[in-house]
Structure 1
Amino acid sequence: MSKSQYETYEAPYGLAEAPYDLPRDFSCEPTEPYGQVTEPYGQAYVPGQASGPPSAPGGSSGGSGGRAEARRAARRRRATRGTTGGPGTSERAVALRRLVPQALVVAFLAGGTSAFVANDKAVRLSVDGEPRTLHTFADDVSELLADEGLAVGAHDIVAPATRTALASGDEIAVRYGRPVHLTLDGERREVWTTAHTVDGALRQLGVRAEGAHLSASRGRRIGRAGLDLAVRTERTVTIMADGRERTIRTNAATVREAVEEAGVTLRGQDTTSVAPDSFPRDGQTVTVMRITGSKEVREEAIPFDVHRIEDPALFRGTEAVAQAGRPGARRVTYALRSVNGVKQRPRRVSSEVVRAPQDQIVKVGIRQKPQTVAGAEGLDWGALARCESGGRPDAVDPSGTYGGLYQFDTRTWQALGGSGRPQDASASEQTYRAKKLYVQRGASPWPHCGGRLRG
Structure 2
Amino acid sequence: MSKSTMKNLFYKSLRSKKIAITVVSLTLFVTVISLVLFEGTKKSITLDVNGEELNIKTHAHTVGKLLSEQEIKVAKHDLVIPSVNTPIEDGLSVRWEQSQQVAINVDQEITSVWTTDYKVEDVLAEAGIEVTEDDVVKPELHEQLGKDNSITVQKAFDITLNDGGEEKNIRTTSTTVADFLKRENIHLNDDDRLNRKAEGYLKPGSIVAIVRVEKVTDVVEEPANFAVETRNDPSLLKGREKVVQAGKKGTVSRKFEIVKENGKEVSRKLLEEKKIKNPQTKIVSIGSKVMVASTMSTNSKAGRSVSRGNSGAPAGGKEFFVTATAYTAGCNGCSGITRTGINLRANPNLKVIAVDPKVIPLGSKVWVEGYGYAVAGDTGGAIKGKKIDLHVPTKNEAYKFGRRQVKVKIID
Mark yes or no: TM-score above 0.5: no
Q: TM-score, normalised by structure 2?
A: 0.38
Which has the larger helix fraction?
Answer: 1
Which has the larger strand fraction?
Answer: 2
